Every structure is written in structure tokens, then in C-alpha cells.
């Protein structure tokens, strides 16, 4: 430090003639021109920073790491569509029945009879399977009103899956029209599920994925309640049998509507097409129809116990089209010549056959 | 002790050899500050010229949105919100590079809003030098802009882009587009006997009726308040609020060149604070992040103690970083993180609940993406030849969509073969489209035309439907083929015993593109008998009306 003996700058004559009031702020200050090394370093840093930013924002779109978007299309969120597995299991060798009908007894007994009629539940569910059960929980209604699946049957089914079949996990899910939480609570299905040892999946904004369904007309790609399907081995639909204002009947196939997300209220512009699309959207292991409380009129919501007729039938089926056709005729007691159009469309799409003759087996 | 009056005029801001080439009267003018003023006038004029050029008869490929595209805050915030840099936004690197070189040069050499503030502050500055020393001293509240930019950038990263509210360039464009330009035009129209040829040259929007902008009062008032604040705190906006300035201030930490004070020459006369624009404390340890590089202090220093130079960094003489405590930055971060859900839960602009009047211009991306891109600069509104584009009010967009573009078909319609708004949009909120894409022709047949909304009839107000009076202007002007407005024709006998044919119109929603010309031309002038609402717009499947590919749709 040599600033003590030689001042760096000859002081300005004007300034030196009048004494300062305050001392210089930092007496040890030395003018320090930027060293070459420092200068180059900082220039390099600036160039590096600018160069990186320049590459990211100006490099052609196809180059790696480029953030350029000259059309404005790249930033559009892309939803990768997923596909569902085929959950069907071949029926026992030599068995002709595709539709099983169980009559008489408690719901548990009727269910067991129906399942035995198509080969027994143990044939379809293996120990260690993760099984998804899809009831119809569409409305915030008491089970007695017949608008939703009956909790007693769900409880019996889950117990059968967990105890008899030694399934690893049973999931129960639906995306109802009304508040999912409320619907599961007031239909008694949450209680029934949890009592039997199953787990309820409710839809939240992150539960949906775009599902690709080859061959579907309206839902070739559509938002689907996919989270409960993660790693699932078997899928069982459990549907009530109901009158429906627009498509005449809501049964096993229409039940899958409850897995759709997005603007599904538009589907009523073409209801038969969508229901037939549903028949190929998902290929369930089994479809169970709950004929214990049949909603004969004012469907699909019901609302008055007088709309409901009690029957002692539970069905289990490998062919949901034949099952729905039989239920339409025998449970809803409608004219078999006026089958809903969607059943014929579903047959054309390869979901099953309307003609159930010779494929029924009834256990009473 | 020297006083201001005794100080001899310094002539030492340009290299002496250059200066000596000129005679003394010219020499006096050759100051860097004067060069700076020339630059400011140039960019301010360029800004106005670009606004003026943004008109259908003048747009011939001029880069009319370039000043917006040069704004690095626009580039960085949209990159955070979308993950991409749209079209010409790479121009922001120019300003970033300039800042890395010489600090916040942008603020006092280029920014038209800064120029406006400096000019107004200069015009109304009635203070003595000593008062100015205090007015230009750094104050604690100047940290606030760093909090502002932190909040805005965090919100942008989460998906709510709100920089446009306070970004100076957006603010300036928006005010000129919706307030200044129509005011100028209306004033010109008020001058009787002015040559129409002249009118066409000087008006911002020649050849159309006087333009109106719904809610422009608030945009004008916002500007007035910010500019008026200069009378109390010089350059209030630039020092306290400007998020772009804050961003550049943080970057200028790396700048190569800065103001340097030679303490051996300095007499602590404080003259450098007389006109210090940024309140950067050149009389003490210079605050690099606050300095606008306006060079006034060099001009004013009687001792030649200040220079704009590349000297080494003596930490005792320089404050490199903005004066913000960690606690304040943390708080700003929390506010930003909470700001996103707070804006969203307001819920005026969601797919579950959107205003029927929230009709976006053609080429607009899906709404949530739109809100990640729109900077509310209203260049689209400036370019719109029919005046249909309007700054959204609270009613249509909530706070999140405030001053973003919406279409008001009571005022005008969207012209079929016009895509100007998509051309000028700097961020791709309105993606650049061609007329072919807009109309669904050529390569876009499969995709179909861009649909803005759907028309509906109020049959209680429609003349043929409600009053047995022939009309159907709507059917006549419907521009698509086949027409989206068709009629059921019937003959009726009126109360005056005359037989008239009534063409009762109805909508074919599959064909309607929502251009709004039926509403704009409907003779029922207040509550139109036919009106367009946003439902059915093609940019969003969540807001569609009809099921695609349904049976019976042809």
C-alpha cells in the first residue's frame, strides 16, 4: 500500500482550497481498474448467460432443449391416451351358460347361485388378484328407492372376493352425478364396502386419464376415471335394473357411464351410440345385475318407493348384452320386440349377442 | 464550500479529441445526457409510430409489437408459465444483453413509459436543488418493486400470468390502444373542416366510426394516477412498482460498466443527487440495481469525480444487490404462491362457471392456457378493424382476466377474413392463424372452422317470432354457407288485415361460427333478439355445446 506517501490523484484546486466538513468516506479507497483476468471472466460469464438464454429461446424447435415455439401449438397440453386391458376370463371348458340366474334366499345366497351358474366365482378370480367392483352410485338416494346398487349385495360380493377367492384388494369406485362423497354415504355403499374390507375410490381432478377405445364412435378418446384401474387384474360391474327416461333401461352396460369424465352431459344427444360404445370401452370379468329391487318407472332417478318392485333375482354374466336383454324382458317386463337400440348396436360392435336362448342357466 | 451557482460548466463527458472538432456552442451540447435524450425521443416516437402502424390499412409486415417482444419480463414470465418462448419473444435477449453490459440502460434510454415519467417529473419539478437531494435519496420503500416482481413471477410459474397489470410496456400499449388513440381520433373528428386526407394520415384508426372501449375509464385513470405520482415521488412507478425495472435491477448486478465515484475528488456537495433518476445514491455507495444509467450525475458533478466506467468492484463503494431482506423476499414468495389459488378460486373464469360474454378472439388458445399467455397489452384491440375487441371488465374475466381481450358483438362483429389480432399478439395467447385456418378451408377442412361461440334467439323479442313483423336481417348477414340462420316460412294475417310472409329464423348450431354479425346487425338495439354466447367455442372441449360425430349430424 503506497497511498500514504503518494496520493493517487492530484486534488482539484477548487476543492482543496476549502476544507472538507466531513472526512472522505473510505480513506483506504484505491481506484482499481478492472484487471484483464476479471474483465475476461465477467465478459465470459455474461456471454455464457446470454448464450444459454439465446440457445434456449432461439434454437430451432427440433434441437434438444430448445424452448422455442414459433406456432404457439407446442405449449398446448398433450394428454397421452391410455388403453384398458381386456379383463375377461374364459369360461370353464364344456360350459354353455353365459348368463347365470340365481333365485331365492338372501342376497348373499342369490349371488352365490348366480355365480355358480356361470362356473363359480373362484374360476374367475385368482388368489392375489386386485379386483375392481363398479356399483351404480349415481344418486344421493336411499337404497330402498332402487336408483343405486344394493349395499347388502356389494357387501356379500366383497366378502366373497376377499375370503373365498383370497383377492389381494377389492376397490369400489364410481363417478356419480351428485357429490361423490354424499352418494357413497347415503346409498350405504361406503359403509357396506368398508365393513366387508374393501376400499372406496372417489374421483378427484387428478384421477382422470384420456382413454383410447378402438372402435368406439363417440369416445374414441375420452376422459376416464382411471386411478382405481391402476394395476387392476379383474373388473366386476354390479348394476341395478332401472327404467331410463331416454334409453328405456339402465342395466349392466349403462352402468359403465359412471366411469366417464369430461362433458358427458353431451352424450344424451346420442344416447344409444354412447351406451353401445360403453359396451366395448370396458371388457369386464363379470357383470352382475341386482334384480332384488327393480326400478320400474320414473327412472333413472326414481324417488318414490312405489316405483320399486321387489324380486328375488341376481344375475351374473359373461355376456352383458344377453344379460341386459333378458333383464329387460323378465325383470323390467317390457316387450322383447322393443329392446333398446343400444343393445343391437352393442351386438354390431362385438360386445355380445342379444339372443340369449340356450345360454342361460338358472339355479333356484 | 461550493454551491450550485458557482460551479463552472463541465465539458468533459465525451473524449476531448472528439469534442475539439466542434466550435464551443456545439461543444456545450455534446453531452452524453443529450445523446440519451435523443435516444429517448427516438424510442418514444418509435413506440407511437408502431401503435399508429397497427391498423389494417397500414400493417404491411411491420413488426408492430416489437417493443413488447423486446421486453425480457414478457419473455421470462411466459416461459415460466408455458415452458416455451413464443415466436419473436427471443428479442428480449437484446435488452438482457444490454443490461449485462451497462446496467438498467433500458429504463432511461429506451423505455417509453420511463421517458413519459421522466418528462412529466421534469415538467412539474418546481423544487430547489436542495429539496431534490432529498427527493432523490434512496428510500426504503423502493424495495417494493422486487417484491412485486417476485410475486408476479411465482404466480406466472404456477400458471397465472399477471405481469401485464404492471409491466410498463404492456401498460403503455394498453393505455394507448384503449384510451389515448381513441381520444386522439375523437378529438381530430371534432375539428370541423379538416382535410379528410390529413385525417386519414394522422388518426390511429381512420375510416371507421369513433371507437369506444368499455371500461377504458379505469385504464386511463390507472395511468393518470401512476403518472401523477411523479409529483410526490419522482419516478414513483419506476422506483417503487416497475417489475421490469426490478428484473433488470437484479440482472445489472452482473453489468460490466457502472457509475464510479472517485472519493478523492468528491467534495460531498451532493449535486449528483439533483437529477438522479433512479435514486441510486451516487453520492455514497452506488446502488447498481437502482441506477438507470441516465448519466445525469456525471453531468452535474462539479469535481469530475463521477464516471461511467469499468473499474473493479470495491465493495465499500458499490451496492451490487437490491436492498431487500431475506424476510421480505420470503414473504413476497409466500404471497406469490398464495396469489395463484386466490386468483383461481374467484371462479369467474373456470370451465364450470364462465361468463357467456367471455368470447375470445379467433385463434385464442384454450382458456387456462390463454391466461398463461395473455399479457393484457391489448395490441389485438388496437389492431381490430371493427372495434369488436374490448378490454374485459371484472364482469367477464374477474381480476384474472381483467383487460384481456373479449368480443362485444353489440358494438361490432368479427370480420370473416380478418386475422389481424392473431398477427400482432406477441405471446401466442391468440395464436397466429391464417384465414384458411379460421374458416376451416384447405388443409383445415377436417378440423373445421374456428368457432367463437353460438348464436341464440330470444323469441320474445324477435320481430317475426313475437310481433308478426317481417325482418330476418340476421339471416341475410350470416356469412357462412350454408347459412347458420335458416327460416321457417309461414303466411299470417296481421291485425291490420294484411297477409304477410314471416320468415321465422332459427339457428343451426352445427354451422354457426359465432362471428356475431347477426347480433351486431339486429334491429332490436338494446337487448338483441339474437345474441352470441361463448358456449360452443372450438378452442375448448369443456365449453362445447354439441356432441361431435353424433348420429344425425350429417
Q: Is residue B387, in this structure, part of any structural domain at all?
A: no
**Distance (Å, whole) CA B325 – CA B331:** 10
From A251's Cα to the closest Cα of chain B, the distance in A is 22
Query: Does the pLDDT value for residue B247 go beyond 80?
Result: yes
CA distance A252 to A326: 11
Q: CA of A112, closest CA in chain B: separation in Å? A: 41
Q: What percent of chain B has pLDDT over 70?
A: 95
Q: Is A317 part of any domain?
A: yes
- What integer is the mean pLDDT of B91-102? 94
Domain assignment present for residue A217? The answer is yes
pLDDT for residue B309: 86
pLDDT tens by residue, A314-327: 999 999 999 999 99
Verify that A177 and A289 share a domain, yes or no: yes
pLDDT of residue A9: 45
Q: Is residue A26 part of a domain?
A: no
B117 domain residue, yes or no: yes
Determine, yes or no, domain membership for A17. no
Report CB contact under 8 Å: A72, B86: yes
Q: What residues make up the domain containing A203?
A: 99-363
Domain shared by A271 and A205, yes or no = yes
Quote the number of domains for chain B: 2
Residues sharing a CB contact under 8 Å with residue A34, sequence separation 6 or more, in sequence order = A42, B310, B311, B312
Q: Do B365 and A76 touch (CB under 8 A)?
A: yes
The pLDDT tens digits of the residues spanning B227-244 come to 999 999 999 999 999 999
Asked if residues A121 and A100 have their Cβ atoms less than 8 Å apart, the reply is: no
Domain identity same for A292 and A346? yes
DSSP state of A9: S
Angle at A192 between CA A171 and CA A150, to 5 degrees: 100
Shared domain check, A354 and A219: yes
Q: A154 vs chain B: nearest CA distance in angstroms?
A: 33
Residue given cell 349371488 in the structure block: A111
CA gap B295, B108 in Å, rounded:
9
The arithmetic mean of pLDDT across residues B359-375, rounded, is 96
Structural domain of residue B518, as residue ranges? 454-533
B-contacting residues of A 57-116, CB under 8 Å?
Answer: 57-58, 67-77
The answer to whether residue A45 neighbours chain B at the CB level (below 8 Å) is yes
Residue A22 in any domain: the answer is no
Whether residues A150 and A60 share a domain: the answer is: no
- 364 residues of chain A, pLDDT tens digit each: 344 434 444 444 444 445 555 555 556 656 666 778 888 888 898 899 899 999 999 999 999 999 999 998 998 888 899 999 999 999 999 888 999 999 989 999 999 999 999 999 999 999 999 999 999 999 999 999 999 999 999 999 999 999 999 999 999 999 999 999 999 999 999 999 999 999 999 999 899 999 999 999 999 999 999 999 999 999 999 999 999 999 999 999 999 999 999 999 999 999 999 999 999 999 999 999 999 999 999 989 998 999 999 999 999 999 999 999 999 999 999 999 999 999 999 999 999 999 999 999 999 8
Separation between Cα atoms, residue A267 and residue A233, nearest integer Å: 29
Domain boundary among B276, B297, B319: B319
Using 50, 70 and 90 to split pLDDT, how confident is the model at B99?
Answer: very high
B545 is a domain residue: no
Residue B225 lies in a domain: yes
Shared domain for A68 and A200, answered yes or no, is no
Residue A285 C-alpha cell reads as: 370379468
Q: Specify the pTM.
A: 0.90
Residue B525 lies in a domain: yes
pLDDT higher at B246 or B256: B246
Looking up residue A319, the CATH number of its domain turns out to be 3.40.50
B84 has a pLDDT exceeding 90: yes
User: Is there a domain that residue A81 lies in?
Assistant: no
Confidence of residue B207 (pLDDT cuts 50, 70, 90): confident
How does residue B7 score in pLDDT terms, banded at 50, 70 and 90? Answer: very low
Give yes or no: residues A283 and A204 share one domain: yes
Between A72-76, A290-294, B65-69, B406-410, the lowest mean confidence (pLDDT) is in A72-76
Judge if ipTM > 0.95. no
Tabulate helix, strand, coil % of chain B (nearest 5).
Answer: 45, 10, 45
Domain boundary among B255, B290, B319: B319
Map grid coordinates 455514497 to a residue.
B284
The beta-carbon neighbor of A270 closest among B256, B302, B550 is B550
C-alpha span between A150 and B321 (Å, rounded): 68
pLDDT of B13 higher than 70: no
By the 10 Å C-beta count (0-12 exposed, 13-18 middle, 19+ buried), B59 is classed as middle
In a domain, B303, yes or no: yes
> Residue A21 has what pLDDT?
58
Of B480, B463, B479, B431, which Cα lies nearest the Cα of B530?
B463
Encode A59-91: b = buried (16+ Cβ within 10 Å), e = exposed.
Answer: beeeeeebbbbbebebbeeeeeeeebeebebeb
Same domain, residue pair A121 and A56: no
By the 8 A CB rule, do B244 and B169 touch?
Answer: yes
Chain A residues within 8 A of B374 when measuring between CB atoms = none
User: Is A269 at the interface with chain B, CB within 8 A?
Assistant: yes
Cβ contacts of A43 on chain B, cutoff 8 Å: 256
Residue A82 domain flag: no
Query: Final residue of a domain: which of B259, B286, B319?
Result: B319
Answer whether A14 sits within 8 Å of B303, measured CB to CB.
yes
Nearest chain A alpha carbon to B427:
A72
pLDDT at residue number A22: 57
- pLDDT score recorded for residue B2: 42
- Domain count along chain A: 2
Amino acid at each position: 500500500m503506497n497511498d500514504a506517501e503518494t496520493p493517487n490523484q492530484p486534488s482539484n484546486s477548487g476543492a482543496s482550497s476549502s476544507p472538507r466538513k466531513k472526512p472522505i468516506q473510505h480513506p483506504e479507497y484505491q481506484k482499481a481498474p478492472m484487471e484483464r483476468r476479471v474483465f475476461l471472466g465477467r465478459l465470459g460469464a455474461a456471454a455464457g448467460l446470454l448464450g444459454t438464454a439465446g440457445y434456449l429461446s432461439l434454437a430451432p424447435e427440433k434441437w434438444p432443449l430448445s424452448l422455442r415455439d414459433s406456432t404457439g401449438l407446442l405449449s398446448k397440453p398433450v394428454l397421452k391416451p391410455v388403453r384398458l386391458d381386456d379383463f375377461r376370463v374364459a369360461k370353464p371348458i364344456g360350459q354353455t351358460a353365459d348368463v347365470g340366474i340365481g333365485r331365492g334366499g338372501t342376497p348373499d345366497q342369490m349371488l352365490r347361485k348366480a355365480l355358480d351358474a356361470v362356473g363359480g366365482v373362484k374360476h374367475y378370480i385368482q388368489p392375489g388378484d386386485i379386483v375392481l367392483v363398479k356399483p351404480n352410485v349415481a344418486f344421493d338416494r336411499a337404497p330402498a328407492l332402487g336408483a343405486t346398487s344394493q349395499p347388502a349385495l356389494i357387501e356379500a360380493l366383497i366378502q366373497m372376493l376377499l375370503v373365498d377367492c383370497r383377492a389381494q384388494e377389492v376397490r369400489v369406485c364410481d363417478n356419480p352425478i351428485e357429490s361423490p362423497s354424499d352418494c357413497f354415504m347415503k346409498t350405504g355403499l361406503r359403509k357396506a364396502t368398508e365393513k366387508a374390507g374393501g376400499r372406496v375410490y372417489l374421483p378427484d381432478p387428478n384421477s382422470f386419464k384420456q382413454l383410447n377405445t378402438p372402435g368406439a364412435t363417440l369416445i374414441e378418446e375420452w376422459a376416464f376415471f382411471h386411478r382405481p384401474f391402476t394395476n387392476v387384474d379383474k373388473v366386476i360391474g354390479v348394476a341395478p335394473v332401472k327404467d331410463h327416461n331416454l334409453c328405456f333401461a339402465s342395466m349392466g352396460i349403462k352402468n359403465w357411464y359412471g366411469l366417464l369424465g369430461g362433458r358427458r352431459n353431451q352424450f344424451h344427444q346420442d344416447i344409444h351410440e354412447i351406451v353401445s360404445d360403453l359396451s366395448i370401452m370396458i371388457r369386464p370379468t363379470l357383470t352382475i345385475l341386482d334384480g332384488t329391487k327393480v326400478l320400474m318407472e320414473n327412472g333413472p332417478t326414481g324417488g318414490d318407493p312405489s316405483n320399486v318392485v321387489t324380486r328375488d333375482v341376481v344375475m351374473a354374466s359373461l355376456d352383458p348384452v344377453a344379460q341386459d336383454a333378458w333383464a329387460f324382458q323378465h325383470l323390467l317386463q317390457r316387450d322383447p320386440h322393443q329392446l333398446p337400440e343400444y343393445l343391437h348396436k352393442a351386438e354390431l360392435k362385438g360386445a355380445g349377442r342379444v339372443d340369449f336362448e340356450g345360454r342361460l342357466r338358472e339355479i333356484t | 464550500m461550493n454551491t450550485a451557482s458557482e460551479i463552472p460548466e463541465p465539458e468533459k463527458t465525451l473524449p476531448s479529441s472528439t469534442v475539439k472538432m466542434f466550435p464551443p456552442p456545439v461543444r456545450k451540447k455534446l453531452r452524453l445526457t443529450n445523446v440519451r435524450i435523443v435516444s429517448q425521443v427516438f424510442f418514444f416516437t418509435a413506440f407511437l409510430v408502431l401503435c399508429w402502424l397497427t391498423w389494417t390499412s397500414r400493417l404491411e409486415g411491420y413488426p408492430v409489437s416489437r417493443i413488447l417482444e423486446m421486453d425480457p419480463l414478457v419473455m421470462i414470465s411466459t416461459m415460466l408459465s408455458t415452458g416455451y418462448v413464443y415466436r419473436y419473444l427471443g428479442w428480449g435477449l437484446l435488452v438482457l444483453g444490454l443490461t449485462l453490459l451497462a446496467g438498467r440502460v433500458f429504463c432511461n434510454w429506451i423505455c417509453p413509459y420511463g421517458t413519459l415519467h421522466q418528462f412529466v417529473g421534469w415538467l412539474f419539478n418546481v423544487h430547489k436543488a436542495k429539496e431534490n437531494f432529498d427527493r432523490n435519496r434512496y428510500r426504503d420503500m423502493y424495495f417494493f418493486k422486487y417484491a412485486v416482481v417476485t410475486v408476479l413471477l411465482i404466480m406466472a410459474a404456477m400458471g397465472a400470468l399477471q405481469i401485464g397489470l404492471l409491466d410498463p410496456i404492456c401498460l403503455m400499449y394498453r393505455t394507448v390502444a384503449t384510451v389515448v388513440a381513441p381520444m386522439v381520433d375523437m378529438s381530430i373528428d371534432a375539428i370541423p373542416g379538416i382535410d379528410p386526407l390529413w385525417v386519414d394520415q394522422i388518426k390511429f384508426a381512420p375510416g371507421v366510426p369513433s371507437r369506444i372501449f368499455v371500461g377504458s375509464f379505469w385504464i386511463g385513470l390507472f395511468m393518470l394516477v401512476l403518472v401523477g405520482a411523479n409529483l410526490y415521488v419522482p419516478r414513483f412507478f419506476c422506483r417503487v412498482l416497475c417489475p421490469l425495472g426490478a428484473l433488470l435491477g437484479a440482472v445489472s448486478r452482473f453489468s460490466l460498466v457502472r457509475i464510479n465515484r472517485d472519493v478523492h475528488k468528491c467534495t460531498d456537495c451532493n449535486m449528483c443527487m439533483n437529477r438522479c433518476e433512479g435514486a441510486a445514491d451516487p453520492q455514497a455507495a452506488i446502488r447498481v440495481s437502482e441506477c438507470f444509467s441516465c448519466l445525469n450525475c456525471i453531468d452535474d458533478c462539479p469535481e469530475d469525480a463521477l464516471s461511467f466506467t469499468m473499474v473493479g468492484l470495491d465493495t465499500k463503494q458499490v451496492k451490487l444487490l437490491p436492498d431487500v431482506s431475506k424476510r421480505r423476499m420470503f414473504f413476497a414468495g409466500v404471497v406469490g404462491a398464495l396469489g395463484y389459488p386466490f386468483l383461481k378460486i374467484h371462479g369467474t373464469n373456470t370451465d364450470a362457471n364462465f361468463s357467456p360474454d367471455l368470447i375470445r378472439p379467433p385463434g385464442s388458445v384454450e382458456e387456462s392456457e390463454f391466461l398463461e399467455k395473455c399479457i393484457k397489452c391489448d395490441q389485438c384491440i388496437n389492431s381490430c378493424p371493427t372495434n369488436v375487441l374490448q378490454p374485459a371488465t371484472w364482469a367477464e374475466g374477474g381480476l384474472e382476466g381483467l383487460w384481456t381481450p373479449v368480443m362485444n358483438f353489440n358494438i361490432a362483429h368479427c370480420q370473416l377474413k380478418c386475422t389481424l389480432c392473431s398477427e400482432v399478439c406477441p405471446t401466442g395467447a391468440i395464436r397466429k392463424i391464417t384465414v384458411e385456418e379460421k374458416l376451416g378451408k384447405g388443409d383445415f377442412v377436417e378440423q373445421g372452422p374456428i368457432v367463437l361461440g353460438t348464436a341464440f334467439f330470444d323469441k320474445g323479442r324477435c320481430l317475426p317470432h313475437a310481433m308478426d313483423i317481417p325482418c330476418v336481417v340476421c339471416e341475410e348477414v350470416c356469412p357462412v354457407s350454408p347459412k347458420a340462420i335458416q327460416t321457417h316460412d309461414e303466411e299470417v294475417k296481421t291485425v291490420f288485415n294484411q297477409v304477410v310472409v314471416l320468415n321465422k329464423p332459427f339457428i343451426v348450431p352445427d354451422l354457426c361460427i359465432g362471428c356475431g354479425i347477426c347480433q351486431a346487425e339486429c334491429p332490436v338495439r338494446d337487448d338483441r333478439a339474437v345474441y352470441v354466447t361463448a358456449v360452443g367455442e372450438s378452442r375448448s372441449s369443456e365449453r362445447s355445446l354439441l356432441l361431435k360425430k353424433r348420429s344425425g349430424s350429417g
